[in-house]
Structure formats: C-alpha cells, structure tokens
Structure 1
Amino acid sequence: MRSTAYATVRPRYGVFDVIGLLLREMLLMIVVFLAVFALGTAAVLTLKKTYTASGKVYAGVGQEYVYQPRVGTGERGQAPTQGEVAQSEAAILGSQEVRRRVVRALGPDAILGPNTGNAPPAAREAAALKAIAGGLGVATVPLSAVIGVSYQADDPDVAATVLNAVIDQYLIYRREVFQDQTTPAIRAQREVFEDELAQADAAYDEFLMSENIGDFAAAKAGLALSYQTVFADRLAVQAQLSQTDRRLNTLVAQQAATPAEVTLQQDLNISAQDLILQRRTERENLLARYTPDSQPVRDIDAQIAQLEDYVAQGTAVGPKEVRIGPNPVWVELETNRINTRAERDSLAARLAVLDQQLAEILARQTRMTQLESSNATLAGNREVLTTSVREFQQRETQSRADNELVKAGADNVTVIERAVPPSDGKSMKVPLLAAVFLFAGFTALCVGLLRVFTRRGFPTPASAGRTLGLPVLAVAPMKAR
C-alpha cells in the first residue's frame, strides 16, 4: 500500500502577481478608503481655529547660579553661560508645578471653558493640566538669555490670560525655588556654636582661675620681663656685695693698724723759767735800792745763775699733765666698718631675696610652659568657635537679607513682553485633511494586501509554478461549486 504525505506550502508571489491581485480587490480598497477618509474628514471639520499668544522673558545670570560655599571662605564657582541659565529657567517655566499653580490660580473653567459638564473637580483639574501641557510652548535660542513662551487655545482671550498666568506663577515659583532655605539651619548651627563657645569660655575661665592667671599671654610676657629685671638687679646687687665685702676687708685691715687711743692734750713743766723771770724781776727791784755789788743783788744773781744752769741741763722742761682719748681716725674707720658691714648684710639679704624671686619666677615659667599646650588648646577652641559664630551670624544676616530681596522681586529675570490676545487664528484643517487622505490610502492598501496574502490556493498560474517548481502547461477555469 502506498502512503501519501501532505505538506502545507505558502504560495510565492511576484510583483506583478501582487499588483494583479490588488486590482482584483480594488472595490474593497475603495470602500475602505472612502470610509476612513469620511470619518477623518468629519473629525477634522469639527476642529476650531486656534489662537497662539506669545511672550518673552529675559533670564540673566544671577548669584543663585554661582556656587557659594556654605562653610568656610572658599572660592566661588564659575558662573554659567547665558544659554545654560536660559535652559534652566525654561525648565522651571515649563514645569508641572507651574502648570498646577496656574490651574489653581485661574480655575479649570477659565482654561477649559464653562461647558465642562458635571465632572468631579479632580477630573476637571487633570483636564486643565493636560490642556495647558498641550498648549504651552517654551523655546530657547542657543547663547541667548531670552526665553520665548507661547500658549495655544481656541479663544484668544483665554490664550493671553493663561499665558500671563503662567508667567506670573513662574516668577513666584522660581523665587521659592531659589529662595535660600538654609537660614533656619544656619541659625540652629549658630546657636549650637554659641552653646559650645559658652562651654569653652567656662572651661577656659576655670583653667585660668585654677592657675591664678588673668591673661596667659600677658602673664607669660610679664614673667619674662620680671625675670630679666630681677636677674639684672641680682647681677647689680652681686657686684655691689662683692665691692662692699672688699671695702669691709680693707677697713678691717686699716683699723687693725690704727691705735684705738691717742694723746689728746699735754701740758709742759716751765716753773724754772718762771722762777728765773721772778728772780730777775726781784733783782731789778733791788737795784732800785742797792748797788750791783751789794749782797742782796749778788744773792739774786747767784740764784739766777743756778736756775739758768738747771735749765741749761734740759731737765727742767717736761710733761706736766697728759690727757689720752679715742683716736678719731680709728673711730672713723670703725664707723665706716660698721656702716659697710650693715650695707653688706643688707646686700646679702637682698641677694637672697632676689635668688628666691628668681627661683619662684623660674618655677612659674616652667609651670606656664607646661600649661602652654592646654592654654593653646582651650584658647584655640575659643578662637575657632568665636570665628564660626561670627561667620554664621554674617551668613544668617546675608541669607535673611537675600530672602527679603528675592521676595521683593530683586532677581535676574525680567518679563520683556507679556501676552496680548492674538487677532489672527490658525486652522490645521488643510494639513489634517492631507494627513487623513494619506492615512485612508494607507489603510486601504493594507486591507488589500491583507486580503491578497490571506487567500488560499494559487491565485495565479505564475504563483503555482513558482511555488511548486513545476511548469504550468495549461490553465482551466475553476469549476463552480
């Protein structure tokens, strides 16, 4: 028994086969074309004229586009170009938030018209947002700071009103976007630094009080000056003490070589000379009564001669009365010795006090040197915190002033041209009719091709020969069922 195998083979078409088959389906294609074109034409004819309102906004480079360090005194960043700023502002202008604010400011009815039906508010708001998104246009030119903005609507007044509302809400929203939001954070950080500074001040004051220091730098400088002064005084006192000691030794040596007592007064015995004078006086008296050869005169002359011989021997004159007392030179030397010794003792005592003071100053300086690191740490903390508090106070003031200026409208954006109701409307009927015509033709062609390629069997002899690989010798008409 012979077995038979069946295989499904899709017919193969040539270009002319397809063209011929499409001609066979021409009626169907015309019907489809007319139906689609009629529906599209009816939809296009229902469209109204659209009115486009336009405006222009200038967006210059402001400080909000320049990087400024929040902490420290670093350098500012490089300012962007005008084109980059314009693109950034255009993104804000066309943002969803601006559109939402326009809807809330004008209301959905002002955008969509009063014939919005009984739709819920959320649905009308969504429809208004969609209408603004579809009609709003934002355009920028490279290297230009001017932003072109437009809005398309069926009513010229609505187009102008919505576009002006978009510009107004954009100006408000961009001020909120670029408003410095760090003022509360800066204030909080400043308060934290102030608390830390108060703690640092208390710790530093406690440190100074515990060490009995008023001002560390002044105390250290004062100790250095005091050490120099006391050391100079010590050198001077030491020199004076050496001089005084040498002077005292000299006075002691001189005093040892000087007698303590000397003869103050000595009276001589001159009674023999007095007797001679008395006897001569008596002889002169006797010569007044007697002659020189008389016995009384000769007796007087003998006595005078005897006394003169006695005086001539040298034994008649001698000390009669001697008074001895203290030597003035020795007394003066003793006085100078006592004074010099007292001066030496005072200089020695002063030198001891100066040595003690130097020891105390050196100990204090050593202690100050040991405390210098602690003082530097505490003082450095106070200085850093003071600088930080001052810097954050300045930043807070500047931030608050900048926010007030931004709220007042002092920014880098200026409205060059506001929207006015356009007088000429535009209609898209002709381009849309052309598009509908092309779409209807394309749809009819697709339906015809679908009809051609979904046929069963071999619609043409050439297709049968090409598919089966056999020559077609004859063609018989299909027998009617």
Structure 2
Amino acid sequence: MEQSHQPFDLSSARDILTIIFKHKYIILITFLIISAGVTLYAFSLKRVYESQSVLLVKLGREFTSRPEVGGDTGRGFSVPPETIMRAEMSLITSRDLINTVIKTVGQEKIFPVLSKAIPGSISPDDLAINLFQENLSVNNIQGSSMIQIAFTHPDPYIAANVVNTLVDALKIKHLEVFSTDSTPFLKSQEKVFQERLKESETKLASLKQKYGVFSFEEQKTALIQQRSTLDTNLKAAQSQVNELEQKVAMIKNPKWAPEVPPEIRAQLIALQQREREVMGRYIDGTVPVQNVRKEMDAVKESLKKQSEEIRQTEIHKAEGELNMARVRADNARRQLGQVEAALQSLETRALELQGAKREAALQEQNYQNYSRKLEESMIMDDMDRRKMVAITIVEKAVASSLPKQGKANKLVVILMGLFGGIAAGLAIAFLLEFIAPGMTTPWSAERRLNLPVLSAIRRLMISSRVPVDVNPTHDSAKSEMDMEQEMIDLYQTITAALPDTDRRTVLFVGSRSNEGTSTIARQLARVASLRLEKSVLLIDLDRSRPDLHVYSTLKPQADLQDGEGQLGLTLARVEESSLYVMPLFWRTMVTPKTIDYAKRGDFWESLKDQFDLIIVDSPPASMFPDGPAIVSRLDGVILVVEAEKTRWHVALSVKEKILKSGGNILGIVFNKRRLYIPELIYRYL
C-alpha cells in the first residue's frame, strides 16, 4: 500500500461528502455571512450610465516612414499596426489629455463631490484625474483597427459630453504629437542645394570649354584605332629588322658561299676532264700536266675573287635594307608613344569631366528630393491646419437611457455572492480537515498510516461494564447486534491474516488513553467465546486505569511471577464460559520481572496449547513500553485508532515503534467512527 499523508481524496465522493456533512454548520454560517454581505453590497450600488464612442484609426500619413533623401522606395509603416493601436490607446488615457477634458467640461460638473472634499496630500486635480481614469474604459476591438471609448457617470448627458470632448481633444493632441515643423528647414535645404547645383553646372561647362572636347568617346575611339594600326606597323618593321639582321650575319659567315656562275663551273669541269686525260698520257710533273694545272688554279683563283665580290655586294645590300627597316620601326615606335600619351591625357580629362558630371547629377537629385519633400511638408501643414487626422469617428457618444448597473447586474452580483459563499464555506471546511491532526474516516487512516483498516466501529451504544451473561435491553439490542457482527468480522479478518496457525496470539494497542482498546479487546474475547465457541484467553496488560476493567472482580489464585510453575493459578474463568482472563495488575503494577517472563517463548507456547485465541490488552504505547516489549512473541498486532481524536503522527510513531520491536502489524481498528453522511445518501456510494 502506497503511503500518503493526505487526509482526504478529492476524487472520492465519499470523502468529499463526509467533509461537507461534518462541517455543515461552518459551511452554512460562512455561506450566510458572505451571501448576506454581498446582497447588501448589491443593493447599495449606485446607478450609473455609460456612454460609448467608436474610433477608426486609419493608419495614415502620421505613421508612414518617409526617407529624408531618395525617392519613395522603402515607404511604409514605420511601426507595426499593433504598436500604433497601443500608442493611440495610451494617448487617450494620458493624464495631460484627461486634464484638458476635465477643464473643458468642468471639474464641478464631472465630480461635484470633490468640491466638498477635505484638502489633503493629493491635490483636487490629481484626484479628479485618478477618478476619471477609473471610470474611463479604452479597448481595441478584437481583429480591427477600431478603438472603443467608454465613460461611466451618474448623469448620462455628462457621460456623453465627456466622451465627445475627449475625442475632440484627442484629434488636437494627435496633431501636436505627430506633426513636425519641418517646412522652414526644408526651404533652407532646398535653397542650399539649388546653389550647389548651379556651381556644379558652371564647373562642367568650364571644363568642356577648356578642353574643347564635347565627345570624349569619339576621340577615344579614333585614338584607339590609330594605336592599333601603329602597333601593327611597328610589329611588321621589327620583324623585318630581325630578318635582315639574321641575313647579314649569315652572309658574313665564312661558310656562306655564293652561287658559282654556270660558265665558270663548266670551264672548271672541262679542265678537270682535261687533267685526267693528260694524266693518262703523261706522267706527273711533265709540262702538259703542269700547264693544265696552272690553268685550273687560275680558274679557281678567279672563282674565289668573284665569290668575295659577290659576298661584299650582298652585305652592302642587306645592311642598307636593315638600316631602312630600323628607321621605319623607330618612326612607328615614336608615333605609337605619341598616340599613347594623347590617349592617357584624354583619359585624365575624361575622368575630371565625368566627376564634374556626377557631382552635377548628385546636386540635381538632392535638389529634386528636397523640393518634393518641401511640397509634401507644405501639403501636410495645410492638412494639419484643417485638422485632417487619421482618426475617424465611427460612432458618436450619445446619452444612454438605460443604466449600466440595473437589476440584472444586481442579480449577477447576488448570484456571485451565493456561489462565493458556498465556495468559501467549502474551502474553510476542506482547510479545517486538512490541518486537523485527527483522522475522520477509515480511508484517511489507511492513507496516513499505510495500514489496512480491519474494522470500522461506530460509537458504541452499549456500556463496556455490562457483564457477558446479561442480556442487552431493548434499546441497545441493535447496537449490541452490530457490535457482535463487527467482532465476528474482525475475528474472521484476523484468521485470514494469520492462515498458518490455528491458535493465534493478538495484541491490541493504542496510542493514547480512552481510545477504546480495552473495550474492543473484551468485546472480541466475549464474542469469540460465546458466539464462535472458541476458547479464549484475555491477558489484561493495561495498567493505565485498572479500576475501569469490567472483570475487575475476578481474582486469580496467584500472580504470574508467583504462579510461575502453574499457569493455571494465574487464570480466572468468566463464569461458565470458555473465556479466561489473566489480570496481571490485580495485586500490583506490572513489574519488569513480569514483562521478562512474558517475553519467554515457552510461556506463549504453553498458553497456545490451551486456547484457540489469546488476546492481549496493552496500555497506550506512547505512555507505557509494555506492549512493544512483547510484540515479537505474538502472531500479530492490531493498532486501535479513535476517530477524530487520535493524532495521526502519534499513531505513526507507535507503528514505527512496534515495527522496530519486531511486531507484525495486521492492521487498524478504527473505533468510535461517526457516519456524517445520511444513510439515505450513503447507501448509494
């Protein structure tokens, strides 16, 4: 079972009804006091009237952003529409505007009671403004750009006059807040930029006249074409120079040989043929051979001279052509440099002229912007003079013929008082139950002690002093029958909780005196003996009030410590029944020696051999340690709790004490329970 210290369960109708019927008089008194007070308050309410006016905020020129320079790009709302609506509502409720309305209508008309007020720390004007704000209501109609203004006053005509005056004052205040005196500034700026524009245009014209250029692009194109032509010519001349230099070097090379003329080549071949023929007829060194060779040497020498002449001629010719090509290349290079210089100068003048054009265009743009701004400002000034604002009256305030707080409102207040009285009474009842230290219902005991309730016994209608053999009277017959049935159920519950043995020992213990522990123990012993025909032994360990014991007249032959060898002498039989008692207190208070003897296992085993059920009536555990001292020798312990009297934290400490002593707690007997819920209702829960 999960432990919870909550005294009640709000999900249980049984717990809720128990609390309600338990504290019904507190709930009733609270309900009567609150409902009566609210009813008196409802009938004391003054009759007031409410006048309303609805305004449409068009989100116009006041809320658009206009850049100081540039065109209309970026024009739009400078703030979100929601912020604009909040700003307008704040403006309506501003103290300055309210003070203006009060002075216009008249403070003595709106709040005549202030003229009789005793001067204090708050001035009459501040007090009037505070009262005005309390009676003023300003709301944004959901999902629209409309504002509803309402004012309550005992006089409906004054209420309507106040609202209309407030709207008129709002328009004037709106113009004061959102209008700007920018026209003089814009005029001065327009004049400044007009002068700057004239200066920049004059400068541009001077530059054009100075350079004599009116089409830089055409000149630039012509120079670029000329530079391209000269560059081509320069490359061609340079290529020719390179070719001629290579040619001169090749001719000057000793390996270069000019082409031999055909007639000399034929003459040389013929002499070579003749030499071979002469060598065939003559020997070497002869005159014919020498003559032929001389002729051949003469031809070769002539050929050599002729070749050298040709070489020199070719060299002079190639060097002449080379010098001419170099001159052409130098001329083309010089002309190209002149064109490059002219083009660079043109670029510099073009940049200067372009800067002048750009400055003139910028000054013209600024002049045009300020001219347009000046025109717009003059238009807005004219609209301000005509009180053209972005606020339109959708519904004008009129005097109402019906009061704001009539019978219907009084009825609502009374009904709220009735429901509030019921709610307050229930809240007090639940609060009292929550802080109460006792436990009202068996279920609250289960939640707080984390133990099952074995039996819930109503307040006993029979006396604990009635002997077991005396029949109950007619008036107490039903109560006795109910008690016997509860005891039978309790015995069966104990039997079910201890199924492993046929002979059981159970200790009943409470946490305080007068909880009914002894009564329950004796009633269970009596019912188990007489009705269930069980042999029962009731051990009276309760020494708190021995004079109240119903069996106080029964005296055994010996005390437990005197009759240690014969337990039968310590028992006293109740008349002719199977019920025996062992009063441990009849001659003296229980001594430590008696408790030590009761702790012995052979003591309980010998008793179990004689009895089916052994019940120990223990004194309150918070006052005497006798019960917890022997719980480890018993089969089970039953904690007795008195409804609404036993403090739950005291009972919880007794439980923990028993568990630390080795006891087996079977559950709780919830004694002296009160059934607050009427039986007619309880039977359906």
Shorter-chain TM-score category?
0.5 to 0.7
Pick aligned residue for 1:51 from 46, 49, 53 = 49
Partner residue of 1:26?
24
1:100 aligns with 2:81: no
Pick aligned residue for 2:69 from 47, 68, 71 = 71
How many Å apart are 1:180 and its aligned residue?
4.2
- Contact 1:103-1:128 at 8 Å conserved across structures: yes
Partner residue of 1:409?
387
Q: Flag the 1:456–1:89 CA change in 2: closer, same or farther, 3 A.
A: closer
Deviation string 1:81-119 (CA, Å, 9 cap, x unpaired) is xxx97x777545422455423321133835861223234
How many Å apart are 1:406 and its aligned residue?
1.9
Q: Flag the 1:89–1:447 CA change in 2: closer, same or farther, 3 A.
A: same
* CA distance in structure 2 between the partners assigned to 1:175 and 1:134 by the alignment: 26
1:133-144 alignment runs, 5 A limit: 134-140=135-141, 142=143
1:148-167 alignment runs, 5 A limit: 148-167=148-167
Identical residues among aligned pairs (%) = 17
* CA distance in structure 2 between the partners assigned to 1:115 and 1:379 by the alignment: 76
Return the TM-score normalized by structure 2.
0.40
- Contact 1:175-1:407 at 8 Å conserved across structures: no
Partner secondary structure for residue 431 of structure 1: helix
Deviation string 1:95-144 (CA, Å, 9 cap, x unpaired) is 2455423321133835861223234556753663464365324454756x
Q: Flag the 1:17–1:154 CA change in 2: closer, same or farther, 3 A.
A: same
Q: Flag the 1:459–1:60 CA change in 2: closer, same or farther, 3 A.
A: closer
Partner secondary structure for residue 400 of structure 2: coil
* CA distance in structure 2 between the partners assigned to 1:223 and 1:174 by the alignment: 58
Partner residue of 1:247?
none
Pick aligned residue for 2:375 from 380, 397, 402 = 397
Partner secondary structure for residue 52 of structure 2: strand
How many Å apart are 1:422 and its aligned residue?
1.8
Partner residue of 2:398?
420
Q: Flag the 1:218–1:395 CA change in 2: closer, same or farther, 3 A.
A: farther
- Contact 1:99-1:133 at 8 Å conserved across structures: no
Partner residue of 2:299?
none
Pick aligned residue for 1:433 from 410, 414, 432 = 414
How many Å apart are 1:150 and its aligned residue?
2.9
How many Å apart are 1:411 and its aligned residue?
3.7
Q: Flag the 1:134–1:380 CA change in 2: closer, same or farther, 3 A.
A: same
Which structure: greater helix fraction? 1
Partner residue of 1:260?
none
Partner secondary structure for residue 453 of structure 1: helix
Deviation string 1:206-234 (CA, Å, 9 cap, x unpaired) is x78xxxx846159625899xx9xxxxxxx
Partner secondary structure for residue 472 of structure 1: strand
More RCO (CA 8 Å, sep 6+):
1
* CA distance in structure 1 between the partners assigned to 2:345 and 2:28 by the alignment: 113
Return the TM-score normalized by structure 1.
0.55
Q: In the alignment, residue 100 of structure 1 is paired with which amino acid?
A: R
Count of aligned residue pairs for this structure pair: 326
Partner residue of 2:227?
none
- Contact 1:101-1:169 at 8 Å conserved across structures: no
- Contact 1:92-1:98 at 8 Å conserved across structures: no
- Contact 2:207-2:353 at 8 Å conserved across structures: no
* CA distance in structure 2 between the partners assigned to 1:416 and 1:190 by the alignment: 41
How many Å apart are 1:30 and its aligned residue?
1.5
Deviation string 1:154-183 (CA, Å, 9 cap, x unpaired) is 321331122112211221222234424654
- Contact 1:98-1:166 at 8 Å conserved across structures: no
Q: Flag the 1:423–1:386 CA change in 2: closer, same or farther, 3 A.
A: same
Partner residue of 1:16?
14
Q: Flag the 1:157–1:479 CA change in 2: closer, same or farther, 3 A.
A: farther
* CA distance in structure 1 between the partners assigned to 2:112 and 2:162 by the alignment: 15
Partner residue of 1:125?
126
Q: Flag the 1:124–1:42 CA change in 2: closer, same or farther, 3 A.
A: farther
Partner residue of 2:199?
201
Q: Flag the 1:377–1:126 CA change in 2: closer, same or farther, 3 A.
A: farther
Larger Rg: 1
Q: In the alignment, residue 455 of structure 1 is paired with which amino acid?
A: A
1:275-354 alignment runs, 5 A limit: none
Q: In the alignment, residue 369 of structure 2 is paired with which amino acid?
A: E
1:472 aligns with 2:455: yes
